[in-house]
Structure 1
Amino acid sequence: MNTSTTHGAGVQSAVTVRDAVIDLLRRLRITSVFANPGSTELPMFRDFPDDFRYVLGLQEAVVVGMADGYAQASGHAALVNLHSAAGVGNAMGNLFTAYKNQTPLIVTAGQQARSILPFDPFLSSNEATELPKPYVKWSIEPSRAADVPLALARAYHVAMQEPRGPVFVSIPVDDWDQPAHSVEPTQVSTEVRPDPHALQQLGAALDACRRPAFVVGASVDRAGAWEGVVALAERHHARVFVAPMSARCSFPENHRLFAGFLPAMREKIVAALAGHDVIVALGAPAFTYHVEGCGPHVPEGAALFQLTEDPSVAAWIPTGSSVVGNLRLGIADLLARPAPTSRELPLPRAARPRAAPTPLMSVAFALQTLAEVRDAADIVVEEAPSSRPVMQDYLPITKTGTFYTMASGGLGYGMPAAVGVALARPGERVIGLIGDGSSMYSIQALYSAARWNLPITFVILNNSRYAALQEFAPVFGFAKTDPVQGTDLPGLDFVALGAGMGCKGTRVADPALLKNVLTAALASREPAVVEVIVA
């Protein structure tokens, strides 16, 4: 059973709110604060303890993105400190992403002094607890200063309880020096074992079927169920697809049973799964769609099962059966069943042809080269939406905990998340694979990477446009030759931008030079920008 600690008001002599909060955070092993400073937050950081670190982001979206990457890579809640209403507003895009990523974040924000709140003062947040909704699991502004430590203790437990996610605590500026009591540890389970009867039905269907398919999503990797899913797929000779828009890698993409990536379109999902009589979605919604579709949600004659830790996802499954509970525990229980009768192995996925060098470098060649020079243990943090299908073909991810992207579709996550991942996994090489358009949403993250001298190589694929929008436009009636307003991005210089924030950089357009440039950047153990000019 996975547990977390806190709670229970102590009876010690009174200390300040600041003292009690710092003590609580230390007990919870939360000693990194991801923040952008503001006046209503300053008292929190007076006499800042030596065993804590303040990770500065130059914009609030960067702050939340860094904390998101850190929490995901560490598997533990991260603390965010934002300025009152304006700062929370700036952070909302990446707060939405953290919610979709199921990232446990404790987000605190300053509030004006309680004594002047009735007068609508400057820098106050009129409805502080409503501002971040609905993209936090819980939101509070404690009624009394003395209640702040307990509110943060509860916030921690709510954030860590599956399905995990961000929570929000608004703290008036004059609370920090008020008397409070320390918060002593308790334990709260954060995982729920799936119902044995429901798992029995799922297991029986798997045992009896002829041609099973698994559809894996981010929660497999998030829950530490990677090895269990591999073992279950091998036991049942099941083909394994990746769910649409999955934000983690949950199955080795070089495995004999790996079948590829499902698109976010109903008809194409049904076509890809055709011929399978039992389909089991593991740690993924069944299914995430991006455009309107019609017809059945699964192939005719197929039975659909879903194992998810999120009851809200289970509630809208369009057909079939859902089992709610922790993925790692559920997979372990399925593996504890007697081994089924062996069935024939499915045919392997066809290999992709190699990408050839061309005068104007293709994305496929760029990512194929990156795959050849990186170590399989290097961590890839990706935000290059138009290049993702090519990445899925030419940059296979083969190890658990080595791939992160945004589940929300919102931009501005990837660059700061790479910083957070590197802070959480010291000594490991991180590759930020970012599109040129995406990078400009949170380019300030380069400053934080340089400030902490992190081993991150930011590979920026520069095609001088918002390619994803141009390529998606025909779905909404554009002719292929029609211009799409606001989607061209000429004249950006990422080497210069990186240099201005302390990161060395190289621009490469010649395919013959790319391998050496990437090799040198990855070997440097310093933050670096590699701007790759692609078609």
Structure 2
Amino acid sequence: MPEHHPAAGAPGRTVRDAVLDVLRRNGTTTIFANPGSTEISFLTGLPDDIDFHLALHEGSVVGIATGWATAQGRPAVVNLHTTAGLANAAGALATARTNRVPLVVVVGQQDRRHLAHDPFLAGRLNGLVGEYPVWTNAPVRAQDVPGAVARAHHEAVTGHGPALVVVPMDDWDAPAAPEREPAPLEVLRAVPADLDRLPELVALLDGARSPVVVAGAGADDSATWAALVALAERIGAPVWQEPFGARAGFPQDHPAFAGHLPPGRAGVREALDGHDLLLVVGAPVLRQYPWEPGELVPSDLRVLHVTPYPDEAHNGVADLAVIADPAAVCGDLADRVRPRPAPRRPATERPAPVAPPAAGEPLRPAHVFDLLTTLLPSDAILLEESPSSRPELQRRVQAREPLGFVSAAAGGLGFGLPATVGLKLGAPRRPVVAVLGDGSALYGIQALWSAAHYRVGAVFLVMANGSYAIMDRLAERSGRGKAPWPSFGEVALRAVAEGLGCSAVRVRTHDELTSLLGEVLPTLATREDPLLVDIEVAADPHYG
């Protein structure tokens, strides 16, 4: 028999009742949390239609929620403890913002009735996580909480990031206001661009001698992939993937795919040399990592930018920026521009498989990635957080379907392992594999307990080289002397995983790896239990 939920204005209806109804109305009835005492009155006794997922650290909470929301394409609800909980989640919230993932984040606070006396656990929360939330609110009255949570949902979707509401612990049991919360029941978002100017874009593309495209995470959906493929084929343009993107913006097995754009200005200028018009779709123009002198793009290159994100349009170097749905714009352009011959550059050539290591030689990341190339299902979601081997991964493993590649655009570690759990929870029918560095995995290792407890059938491939390999190489190249940090080869991730209830295996040889992946990867879609594969590898000599 379904539970009774008091109607708006009904006697005995509490603020908590009203907030749970907001979650039901928005279809966000799964809560991700690591509770503290300020959350007891909200979380205990949840109705049966509200799902709860526990993680053992707030960074893992937000990381799992971010993966879930990425897979679902809608906001996830996160509940965090006061000061320490919110602070522990800061890095994960920064990643959610940079990855443009909507989250509704409810943060606990001490009892409103004695906050003025600064009691134990009273949080000084204003500004604690900087400007990473797209919206933050501390309701003036308990009765304002349901409206604030409803608005947070709309703000998270509109702003493409986490929206925070701070709720004192006594507010949940306060009587709800008799009137409906002051927030729209539904928000319709119109396309903001003036598509009457589409003929101008058509004329620019038609007038270009040699157009080129850069695609990014904002183009990673089925409609945009189809539209962008049609447009690239129509105008005969090669398509580059943005550097450091959270997702792939174009099918990487398509003949027009040119590769991953370098993250430095010299490499960008070389890649774009000979082109006279650059069309950037769903990516910044253009995100860099190391500072390098010289122009960002060649001076004779005209730049057009199509993005759904206003802030992305405002800080680029485009001649013309279009804030609109990329699928709509690219689809219309593909129908109108004049056809051209195939791209002037051939499809990206994948490197030849590396030979298995000789007796006594170590495995390298390329050996792992060659096996993934052969065995990974085409609809797999591959999450990457292995900075030292990411370039080799990108050279060898292709994203062949939308959501085929996921990474942390913010650059901080700790996203990969928890997000993998969330991705599999949010897309249970898709195969999900993570490629993680051992250093990266340690930042979010607590999420393995959640994976085991909730029977999340993802596979975690850990490139265990016992060091921060990318930092070691950066230190070497700096010419400033020896790095002060030691290696950590004594860390046994298999033991850590098993201690958290997750099955794990240590792999040292190519034969062991080939046999294991040949057995496990074909089962990914229906797998119900997680597996951590602790792969002993030598540091890869290539990192950028």
TM over 0.5: yes
C-alpha separation in 2, matches of 1:50 and 1:224? 36
Quote the residue 1:464 is aligned against.
466
Shift of 1:195: 2.1
Please report how far the alpha carbon of residue 362 of structure 1 lies from its aligned counterpart in structure 2 after TM superposition: 1.5
1:20 deviates by: 0.5
Shift of 1:332: 2.8
Corresponding letter in the other structure for 2:328: L
| Aligned mate of 1:175, from 171, 174, 177 | 171
Partner-residue secondary structure (3-state), 1:167: strand
CA distance in 2 between counterparts of 1:300 and 1:197 reads 29
Whichever residue aligns with residue 530 of structure 1, its letter is V
Post-superposition CA distance 1:348-401 (Å, at most 9, x none): 123312211112111111111122121111111111111110000111111112
3-state secondary structure, aligned to 1:187 = coil
Q: Tell me how far apart the structure 2 counterparts of residues 197 and 265 of structure 1 sit (CA, whole Å).
A: 36
Asked if 1:532 corresponds to 2:535, the answer is yes
Residue 107 of structure 1 aligns to a residue in which SS? strand
Rounded Cα–Cα distance in structure 2 between residues aligned with 1:485 and 1:190: 52
Structure 2 residue 430 is the aligned partner of structure 1 residue 428: yes
Supply the AA of the counterpart residue of 2:285: A
Distance 1:11 1:173 in 2: 22
Q: 1:149 to 1:259 in 2, by over 3 A?
A: same
Alpha-carbon distance between aligned partners in 2 of 1:468 and 1:487, rounded to the nearest angstrom? 13
Cα distance in 1 for residues equivalent to 2:229 and 2:190:
21
Q: Hey, what's the Cα distance between the residues in 1 that align with 2:455 and 2:342?
A: 51
Residue 131 of structure 1 corresponds to which residue in structure 2?
Answer: 128
The 5-angstrom pairing of residues 258-407 of structure 1 reads 258-336=257-335, 338-348=336-346, 349-358=348-357, 359-407=361-409
CA distance in 2, matches of 1:171, 1:365: 50
Amino acid at match of 1:189: L
How far residue 66 of structure 1 moved from its aligned partner, in angstroms, is 0.3
How do 1:504-515 and structure 2 match up within 5 A?
A: 504-515=503-514
1: CA distance, partners of 2:370 / 2:210: 32
How many matched pairs? 521
| Amino acid aligned to 1:391 | L
Q: Conserved in 2, the CA contact under 8 Å of 1:108 and 1:168?
A: yes
Residue number in structure 2 paired with 1:104: 102
Partner amino acid, structure 2, of 1:408:
A
- Which amino acid letter does the alignment assign opposite residue 389 of structure 1? P
User: What amino acid maps onto 1:111 in structure 2?
Assistant: Q
Judge conservation of contact 2:365–2:389 (CA < 8 Å) in 1: yes
Normalised by the length of structure 1, the TM-score is 0.94
CA distance in 2, matches of 1:222, 1:152: 28
TM-score w.r.t. structure 2 length? Answer: 0.92
1:87 to 77, 82, 85: 85
Name stretches of at least 5 consecutive residues in structure 2 with no aligned partner.
Answer: 1-6, 539-544
- Asked if 2 retains the 8 angstrom alpha-carbon contact of 1:199 and 1:323, the reply is no
Aligned to 2:248: 249
Amino acid at match of 1:533: E
CA contact 1:223–1:327 (8 Å) conserved in 2:
no
Aligned pairs for 1:18-29 within 5 A: 18-29=16-27
Distance 1:533 1:201 in 2: 55
Check whether the contact 2:433–2:461 (CA below 8 A) recurs between aligned residues: yes
Q: 1:145: which partner in 2?
A: 142
Q: C-alpha separation between the residues in 2 aligned to 1:465 and 1:376?
A: 32
Q: Decide which moves more: 241-250 or 464-473.
A: 464-473
Q: Indicate conservation of the 8 Å contact 1:82/1:108, yes or no.
A: yes
On the 8 A contact 1:213/1:280 being kept in 2, the answer is yes
Q: C-alpha deviations, 1:435-492, integer Å up to 9, x for none?
A: 01000001011100000111111100011111111222355334xxx53221522111
Q: Does structure 2 retain, via aligned residues, the 8 Å contact 1:130–1:139?
A: no
Q: Tell me the residue number matched to 1:5.
A: none
Partner deviation per Cα, 1:14-34 (whole Å, 9 max, x = no partner): 620010011110111101100
> Which deviates the most, 394-403 or 20-29?
394-403
The DSSP-based 3-state class of the residue aligned with 1:514 is helix
- Kept in 1, the 8 Å contact 2:303–2:317? The answer is no
* Residue 219 (1) aligns with residue 222 (2): no
Query: For the residues of structure 1 that align with 2:223 and 2:9, how far apart are their CA atoms?
Result: 38
SS at match of 1:23: helix
Distance 1:224 1:21 in 2: 34
Q: Is the 8 A contact 2:305 2:318 kept in 1?
A: no
Give 3-state SS (helix, strand or coil) of 1:139's partner: strand
Rounded Cα–Cα distance in structure 2 between residues aligned with 1:278 and 1:414: 36
Q: Is the 8 A contact 2:216 2:241 kept in 1?
A: yes
Provide, for residues 314-335 of structure 1, a one-character-per-residue CA deviation record: whole Å limited to 9, x for no partner. Answer: 2222352211122223223323
- Partner Cα distance (1:431, 1:149) in 2: 38
Q: Deviations over 1:122-163 (max 9, x none)?
A: 11112x2322230001101100000000001111001001x4
Kindly report which structure 2 residues correspond to 1:439-518, keeping only aligned pairs within 5 A, or say none: 439-474=441-476, 476-478=478-480, 482-486=481-485, 488-518=487-517
Q: How far off its partner does 1:403 sit?
A: 1.6
Give me the whole-angstrom Cα distance separating, in 2, the residues matched to 1:211 and 1:488.
49
Q: CA deviation at 1:200?
A: 3.3
3-state SS of paired residue (2:173): coil
| RMSD (CA atoms) | 1.8
1:477-534 per-residue CA deviation (whole Å, 9 max, x = no partner) reads: 34xxx53221522111111111111111111111122111112333371210111111
Give 2:326's aligned amino acid.
Answer: L
Change (3 A) 1:387 1:506: same
In structure 2, relative to structure 1, the CA distance for the partners of 1:76 and 1:487 (3 Å cut) is farther
For the 8 Å contact 2:278–2:302, the answer to whether it is kept is yes
Letter in 2 for 1:124: A
Q: Decide whether the 8 Å contact of 2:59 with 2:91 is kept in 1.
A: yes
Matched, 1:78 2:80: no
Query: What's the offset of the Cα at 1:198?
Result: 4.7
Aligned to 1:40: 38
Label 1:340 to 1:196 Cα distance change in 2 as closer, same or farther (>3 A).
same
Letter in 2 for 1:40: T
Partner of 1:6: none
- 1:64 CA drift (Å): 0.3
2:3 alignment counterpart: none
Letter matched to residue 56 of structure 1: L
Quote the sequence identity (%): 38
Contact 2:92–2:414 (8 Å) recurs in 1: yes
Which consecutive residues of structure 1, in runs of 5 or more, have no partner in the other structure?
1-8
- Tell me the equivalent position of 1:416: 418
